[in-house]
């Protein structure tokens, strides 16, 4: 089932490629199951038929975009992706003149965990019905208000940068709302702890870290050609997963992102150990807003 | 716990002011605890927070970064950048629960030998009270 | 070369003498520096902070001291004085008396064992006699040379020091000796002293009451290395004072006191002392009793306002008397001239801002040199207006406090100026070429073979640290191929052993564990270089200053720490690389922008040194402000005469190419190689020139006062510059009353600065108006009368006597009002001294307009990549010690574009800028800092985070390749950019991440405290 937005997107991508405005168009294609999508680069007008737009288009396209820097490329952007693209432009990792940015009136993406809670079992279908999402499993069809299934970052979305995209699809962007207080609720709670408790909190979580560096690999703002923090993969302390070594890695990753992190939470999404790295994103966002 | 805890401190000092201040402490024979190991850099602006993180990683209980007083930087503005960076970095240390007393940014002029010694003594004392830096997992 | 033949002699090694010596030596001339004291540094080394930036004085002096002592072209004689000068310019024969200090400077290690052994305690004159030292002593911790001296007048000859001296440096048989040398030119920079008012003004109680100090003593009290470690306490009881008063002009501006001149620096240092006192101890009440608050320099007025805002109290008064209370606090009787109130008030401490006086030594030296001093004992210039730096004998030049009170930047400017002028008689001499470095071994491919030499520094290290144990632990480190202990590593004998060990063991890294790399690093680097090891392959562990000296009571931990420091140094050594010394060739020639008094003087000075000059003037004629002025202070020389003289001097020199009616179009390149486009205007040619250095001398302008003070409404309301024209052209007429309004457009919220020269200009012009139109009543409306320079106070006093102007002091809050009523000009003003409003009818109103930098500054500063302030005055590289340099190397400034100044000051600066600009040109090559930043292009992602961190404009992004490019010649090697690079693509040679981290990571490796 194709939504109106998806149809519009395919059509615009088709035309942009056909007219030669862009050489590539970046969006998503359906993944191995209804709850999965993957970044997808359409190279011909024909390929745009594979583009999808649904409630689980979570991956941040900014990182993929940066890998194609140098080519003329169109891209469909959610608000959070757009924030990252804007940051990459500031840091000379992209050239605005080579980009064609289509802003999508994003209604927020669904949290896989919330979907599993709402519809236990393998989800075989995901559809939109007005303000609701309809989830199909082997033995049930569950209809939920979209707002109840959103990722936290989406529920407290800070909006699209103004005057940024070349065109819009879907509902025109609402004026960026005041940042909802609940966006920082978890960080605030952490801040009320005494330092030793905070250290214990992180020691506990980071003790699971295997130094797989997925958080670094996925981050759209980690643009260094080689990461200075992951260079010494073979160091015995890293091999041994020394707690202080892991701690220092995450501390420095946070520091490097301090002025850049746009809060897309990709790091925590991909963390195989479910370390709440998004808390770091919120913290950085909070510190910046206080400057 | 037979021996009292002796903290291990790494000091990253700018060559023109803080390192010269440590030299002056020596010339003036101002005594301070032997818990500091000094690394000289040309400017506090050279100190990458990575150095601090690595010091903690490699056994330091505390790290001292010291440079010229604001306005006195031999390189005009390096210390301003150091201040900016470490304000940000210190916030993150706190966020991860590292006690603020484990990291200190100080301004020491070449003539402030006694002050340099006092800073080291005070930091040593604070860290003694704080105990070793350990990541405990319950 | 004859061992006793030098190119130039510099007498005195305070900030002025050091600057002059370095400027000459940097040009390749052999300089002999003679200093009377045991250490160089002068008065500046005694100061705590410097106004208006609150820079730590010793922090900016000490590097210059070290640089001077190490300079290959400088020979330093301390504890010496000039006895006689025969011959003439180019061939002076100088007899110098070398006072013995009974200590062999070659052997003394500065360890201080002798002073600890010495039983004789005397008052420490360096600390203003507020503390005590031994009869054998080091003047201050940063003393250069760091050699102990015996104060023979106090020495009892007991020999305790001799017995305590490990290296055997002391010998009572060492004799004072005369020495005869030849030099081509001489710079006199003997500095100043401050009056100790014992005989003079007993009423202020100095010398009688314990808690009355001179301001210089107070500096020592504030100094961190002073007698009280920087804690301000009362001499009588050691308690922190709750209230402190400063009395200004003690001895100065007083004919009875014998010092009729203004001491120039006191208002600002008193302000600084009070401000910093309050910053340290905010509850201390600070009061300054002043006559006129002379905050005349760049940013001085703002500094003064800041002090007032921080609670420093200013009382306009000259206190009548001081008496001592029972608790040894001081009671001051005074009348506040602004309120008329007579009061008595008690202060815990009283500081006297006493007159700046010449060293008594000057008169004897003047005789020896055959040059003149004035009635006070300051050296006098050949021509106070046109040759302010020439002494009265050809080939001898003056700088700094030797010729009158001066603040530090003026001293430095004059010193550079004197050095530039002193270089002229030397221009035909052979200059010392850059020494050719010895051939180096290429060790890049070799595995580290490190040699470790552990010094026991007699007992200084060995007495507290087990040197053998440290050596043994070093020997156990895998990279260490050789380790040995030595008694004095810096001795010639030990150096020979080090060289031998390097060669015998094929060492390719050397670690010396001894004292500080700052003082001794270069000594050992030289040793290594002699056997082919690059300076970058040397590393030092500071086990004396950081270990034995500061952990004397804990030998165990001190030894452990020393072993750790050695291990860290060895770890670092494994990652070090040779540091290539690079130089780039310099295009001969200097571009001077601006053809006024400053630009022309700079051009002439350069041409006299034999340097090609391109002089560019925007107007169609040379002369700048000289074209607009009438007569010049101090001797009423017509400006046109002076202009013609300068223009003639410019035009008769073939080395100077003049472009009038021409603007600078574009500038690219860097020190040694600037490409400049000169634009002759519409239809005129565009010329390309290539030069090695650039001097900016674009002058200043009056601000536009239209709409204020009735300016623009009536031709009888004019500015000082317009008055000058009337005086020049004789068109003044016969005004019955002339009202001069000082600070028009200055010292207010919109423009808080003081224009510096307005008061002097008003004083001069009041007299000239009086001469042109006798019988005219002159009204002088002012806030503070800030005449400050040499002879200006006297000119002011003379003007008062001749002109008898009516002086009206007004306040910035109630500025004078100028109105036109039926063709009459009425000026109303509130007189703060009479405390009454006055109305004056004026036939002529003269506004002393605020001044600002040239209108072209915003455009030029972009092109030259230099900075300027809101008033379009350029930012010098350092307010105190680099007043003529820009932070961008190879570009210099002088004259009114830095800040308005008198003509003698302008000429001094111009000669100074010429001296600075000549250095790279005469050397022929500029050296690139070896520890510059370098980028690994393959790893650079071109994010540009580093670029704004460079204060020297040495980096930019290459838009084509998307990577960073470093202009190595501009990099000064701070490494600030490197720390801003997230990827590690950017590194600093000599301080690469790997090198620093090697130390950090081994610091506590398995160590025990």
Q: Note whether B98 contacts A200, CB cutoff 8 Å.
A: no
Q: Quick check: is A37 in a domain? A: yes
Residues A190 and A139 in one domain: no
Per the structure block, which two tokens stand in for C913? 């800028």
Arithmetic mean of pLDDT over chain C: 94
Q: Note whether A92 contacts C957, CB cutoff 8 Å.
A: yes
| C879: contact with B, CB 8 A cutoff | no
Runs of H (alpha helix) within C837-902: 857-864
Q: Compute chain B's Rg from CA coordinates.
A: 15
Residues A16 and A158 in one domain: yes
pLDDT higher than threshold 70 for residue C233: yes
User: In this prediction, what percent of chain C has a pLDDT beyond 90?
Assistant: 82
**Which of A91, A225, A226 lies at the smallest CB-CB distance from C944?**
A91
For B75, nearest residue in chain C (alpha carbons): C974
Determine the angle formed by the axes of helices C408-423 and C903-923, rounding to 10 degrees: 60
Residues A102 and A232 in one domain: no
Residues A47 and A68 in one domain: yes
Mean pLDDT calculated for residue range A274-287: 94
| B8: contact with C, CB 8 A cutoff | yes
Chain C residues with CB under 8 Å of B12 CB are 996, 1000
Q: Note whether B74 contacts C974, CB cutoff 8 Å.
A: yes
Q: Which residues pair with C825 in a beta bridge?
A: C820, C842
pLDDT higher than threshold 70 for residue A1: no
Per the structure block, which two tokens stand in for C849? 């307009």
* C-interface mutation test, from B4, B14, B37, B85, most C Cβ less than 10 A away: B37
Domains of chain C from N-terminus onward: 1-98+177-192+358-435 (3.50.50.60), 100-175 (3.30.70), 194-357 (3.50.50.60), 450-549 (3.40.1400), 589-699+854-923 (3.50.50.60), 702-852 (3.50.50.60), 933-988 (3.30.70.20)
d(CA B54, CA C999): 11
For β-strands C844-849 and C737-744, DSSP reports them as parallel
Return the higher-pLDDT residue of C55 and C339. Answer: C339
Contacts of C17 (CB under 8 A, 6+ apart): C10, C11, C33, C35, C40, C42, C187, C189, C190, C191, C399, C400, C415
pLDDT tens by residue, B85-134: 999 999 999 999 999 999 999 999 888 889 999 999 999 999 999 999 98
* B-interface mutation test, from C39, C146, C220, C545, most B Cβ less than 10 A away: C545
pLDDT given at position A234:
82
pLDDT band at A177 (very low <50, low <70, confident <90, very high): low
d(CA A156, CA A267): 18
pLDDT tens by residue, A149-164: 999 889 888 888 888 9
Chain A residues with CB under 8 Å of B50 CB are 228-229, 252
Q: Are C586 and C892 in contact (CB under 8 A)?
A: no
Q: Note whether B100 contacts A195, CB cutoff 8 Å.
A: yes
Mean pLDDT calculated for residue range C269-298: 95
Q: Note whether B115 contacts C230, CB cutoff 8 Å.
A: yes
Q: Quick check: is A90 in a domain? A: yes
Residues A222 and A197 in one domain: yes
Q: Note whether A193 contacts B97, CB cutoff 8 Å.
A: yes
- Residue C379: CB atoms within 10 A of its CB come to 25
Q: Note whether A195 contacts B97, CB cutoff 8 Å.
A: yes
Per the structure block, which two tokens stand in for C720? 């000082």
Residues of C with CB under 8 A from a CB of A: 938-945, 957, 962, 982-985, 993
| A91: contact with C, CB 8 A cutoff | yes
Q: Note whether C942 contacts A224, CB cutoff 8 Å.
A: no
pLDDT higher than threshold 70 for residue A75: yes
pLDDT tens by residue, A38-48: 999 999 999 99
CB hemisphere CA count around C198 (13 angstroms) = 4
pLDDT higher than threshold 60 for residue C144: yes
Residues A81 and A119 in one domain: no
Q: Are C240 and C378 in contact (CB under 8 A)?
A: no
Residues A137 and A162 in one domain: no
Chain C residues with CB under 8 Å of A227 CB are 983
Determine the angle formed by the axes of helices A195-206 and A243-256, rounding to 10 degrees: 100
Mean pLDDT calculated for residue range C456-461: 86
d(CA C266, CA C293): 9
Contacts of C763 (CB under 8 A, 6+ apart): C785, C787, C792, C795, C796, C799
pLDDT given at position C581:
85
| B window 24-83, beta carbon within 8 A of C | 24-35, 37-43, 45-51, 54-55, 57-60, 68-69, 71-72, 74-78, 81-82
pLDDT given at position A2:
78
Q: Note whether B88 contacts A251, CB cutoff 8 Å.
A: no
pLDDT tens by residue, B41-73: 999 999 999 999 999 999 999 999 999 998 888
Chain A residues with CB under 8 Å of B138 CB are 200, 204
Closest to A275 (Cα-Cα) out of A250, A257, A256? A250
d(CA A89, CA A66): 10
Q: Which residues pair with C482 in a beta bridge?
A: C451
Closest to C95 (Cα-Cα) out of C212, C218, C11? C11
Q: Are C943 and C608 in contact (CB under 8 A)?
A: no
Q: Quick check: is A284 in a domain? A: yes
* CA-CA-CA-CA torsion sign (A262, A263, A266, A268): positive
| C833: contact with B, CB 8 A cutoff | no
ipTM above 0.85, yes or no: yes
d(CA A93, CA A225): 11
Residue A208 belongs to domain spanning:
181-289
Q: Note whether C982 contacts A228, CB cutoff 8 Å.
A: yes
For β-strands A99-104 and A73-77, DSSP reports them as parallel
Residues A57 and A138 in one domain: no
Closest to C757 (Cα-Cα) out of C898, C869, C872, C878? C898
Q: Are C829 and C837 in contact (CB under 8 A)?
A: yes
pLDDT higher than threshold 70 for residue B136: yes
Determine the angle formed by the axes of helices C408-423 and C15-26, rounding to 10 degrees: 40
Q: Quick check: is A21 in a domain? A: yes
Q: Are A182 and A156 in contact (CB under 8 A)?
A: yes
pLDDT band at C692 (very low <50, low <70, confident <90, very high): very high
Residues A191 and A82 in one domain: no
Closest to A24 (Cα-Cα) out of A51, A1, A57? A51
Q: Which residues pair with C178 in a beta bridge?
A: C97
Runs of H (alpha helix) within C194-265: 215-222
Per the structure block, which two tokens stand in for A124? 């075989």
pLDDT tens by residue, C534-557: 999 999 999 999 999 999 999 999
Per the structure block, which two tokens stand in for C510? 């050397």
How many angstroms away from the CA of C854 is the closest CA of chain A? Answer: 36
Closest to C960 (Cα-Cα) out of C984, C937, C986? C937
pLDDT given at position C1009:
36
- DSSP-based three-state secondary structure for C459: helix
pLDDT band at C1 (very low <50, low <70, confident <90, very high): very low
How many angstroms away from the CA of C248 is the closest CA of chain A? Answer: 45
Domains of chain B from N-terminus onward: 11-129 (3.40.50)
Q: Quick check: is A28 in a domain? A: yes
Mean pLDDT calculated for residue range C899-921: 97
Main-chain dihedrals φ then ψ at residue C4, nearest 5 degrees? -105, 20
Q: Quick check: is A176 in a domain? A: no
Q: Note whether C983 contacts A93, CB cutoff 8 Å.
A: no
Per the structure block, which two tokens stand in for C998? 């090697």
pTM for the model stands at: 0.81
Per the structure block, which two tokens stand in for A109? 């993406």
Q: Are C328 and C239 in contact (CB under 8 A)?
A: no
pLDDT given at position C1008:
43
pLDDT tens by residue, C929-986: 899 999 999 999 999 999 999 988 899 999 888 899 999 988 999 999 999 999 999 9
| C window 307-326, beta carbon within 8 A of B | none
| A97: contact with C, CB 8 A cutoff | no
| A281: contact with B, CB 8 A cutoff | no
Chain A residues with CB under 8 Å of B133 CB are 244
Residues A217 and A284 in one domain: yes
Q: Quick check: is A207 in a domain? A: yes
pLDDT given at position C374:
95
d(CA C478, CA C572): 13
Contacts of C696 (CB under 8 A, 6+ apart): C593, C594, C860, C864, C866, C874, C886, C891, C892, C893, C894, C897
pLDDT given at position C200:
57
Main-chain dihedrals φ then ψ at residue A82, nearest 5 degrees? -60, -40
Written as one string, the DSSP assignment of C403-434 is GS---HHHHHHHHHHHHHHHHGGGTTSPPPPP
How many angstroms away from the CA of B138 is the closest CA of chain C? Answer: 26
- DSSP-based three-state secondary structure for A76: strand
User: In this prediction, what percent of chain A has a pLDDT beyond 70?
Assistant: 97
Given a contact as 3+ CB pairs under 8 Å, which chains touch B? Answer: A, C
| C880: contact with B, CB 8 A cutoff | no
d(CA C816, CA C47): 40
pLDDT higher than threshold 50 for residue C1007: no
Q: CA torsion, points C826, C831, C834, C838, in degrees to nearest 10?
A: 10
Runs of H (alpha helix) within C349-404: 361-369
d(CA C1004, CA C568): 9
Q: Quick check: is A174 in a domain? A: no
State the residue for tokens 């024909």. A46
pLDDT given at position A174:
63
For A230, nearest residue in chain C (alpha carbons): C983
d(CA C657, CA C659): 7
* B-interface mutation test, from A184, A188, A241, A248, most B Cβ less than 10 A away: A248
User: In this prediction, what percent of chain C has a pLDDT beyond 70?
Assistant: 99
Q: Compute chain C's Rg from CA coordinates.
A: 30
Residues A226 and A162 in one domain: no
Residues A33 and A164 in one domain: yes
| A231: contact with C, CB 8 A cutoff | yes
Q: How many domains are there within chain A?
A: 3
Chain C residues with CB under 8 Å of A223 CB are 941, 943
| A144: contact with B, CB 8 A cutoff | no
pLDDT higher than threshold 50 for residue C748: yes
């Amino acid at each position: 089932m194709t939504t109106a937005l998806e149809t519009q997107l395919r059509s615009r991508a088709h035309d942009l490629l056909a007219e030669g405005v862009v050489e590539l168009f970046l969006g998503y294609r359906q993944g191995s199951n209804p709850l999965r999508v993957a970044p997808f680069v359409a190279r011909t007008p024909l390929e745009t038929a594979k583009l999808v737009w649904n409630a689980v288009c979570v991956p941040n396209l900014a990182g993929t975009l940066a890998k194609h820097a140098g080519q003329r490329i169109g891209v469909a952007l959610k608000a959070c992706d757009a924030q990252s693209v804007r940051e990459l432009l500031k840091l000379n990792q992209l050239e605005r003149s080579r980009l064609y940015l289509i802003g999508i009136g994003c209604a927020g993406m669904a949290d896989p965990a919330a979907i599993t809670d709402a519809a236990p079992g393998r989800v075989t279908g995901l559809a939109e019905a007005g303000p609701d999402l309809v989830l199909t499993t082997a033995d049930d069809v569950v209809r939920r208000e979209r707002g109840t299934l959103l990722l936290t970052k989406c529920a407290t979305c800070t909006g699209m940068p103004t005057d940024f995209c070349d065109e819009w699809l879907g509902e025109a962007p609402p004026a960026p709302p005041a940042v909802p207080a609940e966006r920082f609720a978890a960080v605030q709670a952490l801040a009320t702890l005494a330092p030793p408790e905070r250290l214990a909190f992180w020691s506990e979580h980071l003790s699971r870290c295997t130094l797989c560096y997925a958080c670094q690999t996925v981050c759209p703002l980690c643009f260094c050609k080689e990461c200075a923090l992951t260079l010494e993969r073979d160091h015995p302390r890293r091999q041994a997963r020394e707690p202080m070594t892991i701690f220092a890695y995450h501390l420095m990753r946070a520091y490097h992102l301090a002025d850049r992190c746009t809060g897309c939470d990709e790091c925590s999404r991909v963390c195989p150990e479910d370390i709440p790295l998004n808390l770091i994103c919120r913290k950085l966002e909070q510190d910046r807003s206080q400057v | 716990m037979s021996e009292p805890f002796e903290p291990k401190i790494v000091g990253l000092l700018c060559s023109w002011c803080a390192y010269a201040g440590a030299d002056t402490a020596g010339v003036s024979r101002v005594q301070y605890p032997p818990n500091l190991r000094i690394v000289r850099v040309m400017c506090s602006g050279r100190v990458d927070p990575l150095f601090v993180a690595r010091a903690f990683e490699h056994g330091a209980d505390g790290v001292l970064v010291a440079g010229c007083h604001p306005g006195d930087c031999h390189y005009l503005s390096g210390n301003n950048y150091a201040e900016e960076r470490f304000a940000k970095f210190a916030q993150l240390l706190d966020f991860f629960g590292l006690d603020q007393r484990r990291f200190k940014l100080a301004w020491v002029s070449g003539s402030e030998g006694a002050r340099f010694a006092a800073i080291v003594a005070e930091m040593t004392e604070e860290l003694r009270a704080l105990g070793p830096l350990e990541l405990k997992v319950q | 070369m004859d061992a006793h033949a030098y190119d130039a002699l510099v007498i005195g090694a305070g900030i002025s003498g050091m600057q002059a010596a370095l400027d000459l030596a940097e040009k390749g001339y052999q300089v002999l520096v003679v200093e009377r004291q045991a250490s160089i540094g002068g008065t500046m080394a005694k100061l705590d902070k410097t106004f208006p930036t609150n820079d730590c004085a010793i922090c900016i002096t000490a590097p210059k001291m070290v640089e001077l002592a190490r300079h290959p072209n400088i020979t330093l004689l301390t504890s010496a004085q000039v006895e006689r000068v025969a011959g003439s310019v180019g061939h002076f024969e100088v007899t110098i008396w070398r006072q013995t200090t009974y200590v062999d400077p070659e052997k003394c290690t500065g360890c201080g064992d002798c002073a600890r052994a010495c039983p004789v305690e005397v008052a420490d004159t360096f600390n203003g006699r507020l503390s005590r030292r031994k009869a054998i002593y080091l003047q201050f911790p940063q003393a250069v040379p760091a050699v102990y001296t015996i104060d023979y007048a106090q020495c009892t000859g007991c020999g305790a020091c001799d017995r305590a001296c490990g290296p055997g440096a002391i010998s009572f048989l060492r004799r004072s000796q005369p020495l005869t040398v030849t030099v081509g030119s001489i710079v006199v920079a003997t500095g100043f002293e401050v009056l100790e008012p014992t005989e003079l003004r007993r009423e202020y109680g100095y010398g009688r009451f314990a808690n009355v100090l001179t301001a210089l003593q107070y500096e020592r009290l504030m100094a961190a290395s002073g007698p009280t470690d920087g804690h301000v306490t009362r001499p009588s009881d050691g308690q922190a004072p709750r209230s402190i008063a400063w009395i200004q002009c003690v001895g100065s501006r007083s004919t009875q006191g014998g010092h009729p001149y203004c001491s120039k620096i006191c208002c600002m240092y008193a302000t600084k002392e009070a401000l910093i006192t309050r910053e340290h101890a905010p509850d201390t009440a600070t009061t300054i009793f002043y006559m006129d608050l002379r905050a005349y320099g760049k940013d001085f007025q703002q500094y003064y306002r800041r002090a007032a805002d921080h609670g420093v109290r200013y009382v306009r008064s000259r206190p009548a008397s001081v008496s001592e209370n029972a608790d040894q606090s001081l009671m001051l009787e005074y009348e506040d001239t602004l309120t008329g109130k007579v009061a008595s008030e008690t202060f815990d401490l009283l500081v006297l801002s006493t007159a700046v006086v010449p060293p008594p030594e000057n008169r004897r030296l003047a005789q020896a040199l055959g040059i003149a001093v004035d009635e006070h004992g300051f050296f006098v210039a050949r021509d106070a207006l046109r040759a302010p730096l020439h002494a009265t004998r050809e080939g001898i030049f003056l700088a700094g406090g030797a010729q009158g009170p001066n603040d530090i930047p003026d001293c430095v400017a004059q010193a550079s100026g004197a050095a530039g002028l002193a270089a002229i008689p030397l221009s035909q001499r052979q200059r010392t070429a850059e020494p050719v470095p010895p051939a180096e071994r290429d060790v890049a491919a070799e595995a580290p073979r490190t040699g470790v030499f552990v010094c026991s520094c007699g007992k200084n290290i060995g007495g507290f640290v087990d040197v053998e144990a440290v050596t043994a632990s070093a020997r156990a480190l895998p990279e260490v191929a050789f380790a040995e202990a030595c008694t004095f590593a810096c001795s010639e004998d030990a150096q020979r052993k080090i060289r031998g060990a390097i060669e015998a063991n094929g060492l390719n890294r050397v670690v010396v564990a001894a004292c500080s790399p700052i003082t001794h690093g270069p000594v050992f680097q030289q040793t290594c270089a002699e056997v082919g090891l690059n300076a970058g392959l040397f590393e030092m562990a500071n086990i004396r200053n950081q270990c034995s000296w500061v952990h004397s009571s804990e030998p165990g931990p001190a030894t452990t720490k020393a072993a750790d420091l050695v291990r860290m140094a060895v770890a670092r050594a494994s990652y070090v690389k040779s540091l290539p010394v690079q130089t780039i060739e310099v295009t001969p020639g200097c571009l001077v922008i601006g053809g006024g008094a400053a630009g022309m003087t700079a051009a002439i000075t350069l041409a006299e040194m034999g340097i090609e000059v391109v002089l560019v003037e925007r107007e169609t004629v040379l002369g700048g402000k000289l074209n607009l002025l009438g007569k010049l202070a101090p001797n009423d020389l017509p400006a046109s005469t002076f202009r013609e003289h300068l223009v003639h001097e410019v035009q008769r020199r073939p080395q100077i190419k003049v472009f009038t009616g021409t603007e600078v179009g574009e500038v690219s390149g860097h020190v040694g190689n600037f490409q400049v486009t000169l634009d002759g205007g519409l239809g005129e040619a565009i010329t390309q020139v290539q030069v090695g250095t650039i001097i900016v001398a674009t002058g200043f302008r009056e601000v536009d006062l239209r709409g204020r003070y009735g300016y623009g409404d009536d031709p009888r309301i004019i500015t000082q510059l317009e008055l000058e024209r009337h005086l020049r052209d004789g068109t003044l007429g016969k005004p019955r009353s002339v009202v001069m309004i000082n600070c028009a457009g200055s010292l207010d919220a919109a423009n808080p600065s003081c224009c510096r020269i307005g008061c002097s200009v008003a004083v001069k012009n009041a007299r000239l108006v009086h001469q042109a139109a006798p019988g005219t009543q002159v009204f002088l409306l002012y806030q503070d009368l800030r005449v400050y320079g040499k002879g200006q106070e006297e000119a002011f006093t003379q003007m008062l006597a001749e002109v008898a102007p009516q002086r009206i002091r007004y306040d910035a809050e109630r500025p004078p009002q100028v109105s036109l009523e039926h063709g009459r000009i009425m000026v109303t003003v509130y007189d703060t001294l009479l405390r009454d409003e006055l109305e004056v009818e004026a036939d002529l109103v003269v506004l002393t307009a605020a001044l600002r930098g040239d209108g072209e500054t915003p455009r030029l500063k972009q092109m030259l990549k230099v900075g300027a302030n809101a008033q379009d005055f350029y930012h010098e590289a350092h307010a105190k010690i680099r007043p003529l340099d820009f932070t961008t190397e190879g570009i210099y400034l002088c004259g009114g574009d830095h800040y308005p100044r008198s003509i003698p000051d302008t000429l001094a600066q111009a000669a100074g800028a010429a001296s600075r600009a000549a250095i790279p040109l005469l050397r022929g090559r500029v050296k690139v800092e070896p520890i510059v930043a370098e980028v690994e292009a393959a790893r650079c992602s071109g994010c540009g985070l580093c670029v704004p961190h460079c204060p020297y404009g040495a980096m930019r992004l290459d838009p084509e390749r998307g990577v960073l490019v470093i202009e190595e010649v501009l990099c000064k090697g701070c490494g600030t950019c490197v720390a801003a690079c997230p990827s590690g693509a950017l590194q600093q040679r000599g301080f690469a991440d790997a090198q620093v981290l090697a130390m950090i990571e081994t610091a506590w490796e398995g160590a025990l405290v």
